[in-house]
Amino acid sequence: MEKLKQIENYLDGNMSNPEKDNFEKSLSIDKELADELNFHKELNEAILDDATENFRRALKNVVEPRSFRIKPGNRSLISALKIPLAASVLILIGLSLYNIFIHQDSSELFTNFYEPYSTDISTRSIERSRDNIQLSYYLYQEGDFQTSFEILKNYISSNFDDQTAHFYLGLNALELCYYDQAINELALVEQDTISPFALHARWYLAMTYLKTGNTEYAQILLQRLIEEENMYSADAKKILKKIKV
């Protein structure tokens, strides 16, 4: 029962950063827990697919065109307009509910597909370099996002052209729920065509838009990732299929 509760909280994004880190460490050593998490992910995706299809069918029934004729003897146009007026109201309600549904779904999709960027920085290399910037990348890897964020923020104030620093600052901001800053930093790197982190920034920028419910911008970036045929294309295609109207 406790495992199930942890899985639900993880998928719903209801864990604090320390809780999330501990849970993900448990996944790496507990195969049964990892299998159960994957099962619930697949189950949630199947449920969402069915819910989306049923909602679309219901909305289609509401907006299905019908002809309305005024019968002789009617006192006024009001009675003749009651049905199309009611249909219009239902359309507006349906579209509003669909918009809410998409935003809620996008947050869950973020939880299902998001993973922190994988780095390969060892403590030995940090000790050799004694470089605060390398240390900040290592701290991100270890989950100390706040300290990494502060180091990078101070560094960038006098080294604005360092795209790697902007990338990691954006990643830390995303983990700390500083979404506006995450978007600014990642967009800066994503638009730099010669940056080795441009592709990764595009993916994490799409993830940030997904987390904040901005599915329109997320779809644009995801479509680019699909067309470019890269390491993120398969997941981008899965996400796009679920959020595209």
DSSP string, 90-109: HHHHHHHHHHHHHHHHHHHH
DSSP character for 184?
A: H
Return the closest-CA partner of residue 170 out of 192, 142, 140.
Answer: 140
Per-residue confidence in pLDDT tens, the chain, 245 aa: 577 778 878 887 778 878 888 888 888 888 888 888 887 777 766 665 665 566 566 556 654 544 445 455 555 555 544 555 555 555 555 555 555 454 447 888 999 999 999 887 655 554 444 478 889 999 999 999 999 999 999 999 999 999 999 999 999 999 999 999 999 999 999 999 899 999 999 999 999 999 999 999 999 999 999 999 999 999 999 999 888 65
Q: Residue 29: in which H helix or E strand, if any?
A: helix 17-29
pLDDT at 230: 95
Residue 235 phi/psi, 5-degree rounding, is -70, -35
Task: Report d(CA 177, CA 190) in Å as an integer.
Answer: 19
Region of 73 on the Ramachandran plot (φ > 0 left; ψ -120 to 50 alpha; else beta)? left
Q: Which residues contact 188 (CB under 8 A, 6 or more apart)?
A: 163, 166, 170
Residue 179's pLDDT is: 97
Residue range 123-243 in CATH 1.25.40.10: yes
Q: Is the pTM of this model over 0.85?
A: no
What is the residue extent of each domain of the chain? Answer: 2-113, 123-243
pLDDT of residue 15: 80
Task: Quote the pLDDT of residue 236.
Answer: 96
Count of residues making up the chain? 245
Measure the N-to-C terminal CA separation of the chain; round to a whole number of Å: 36
φ, ψ of residue 19 to 5 degrees: the values are: -65, -40
Q: What pLDDT is attached to residue 229? A: 93
DSSP 15: S
pLDDT of residue 2: 78
Q: What is the residue whose two structure tokens read 């697949």? A: 42
Q: Comparing C-alpha atoms, which of 163, 132, 162 is closest to residue 150?
A: 132
- Return the residue matching tokens 């994957």: 38
Structure confidence at residue 152 (pLDDT): 96
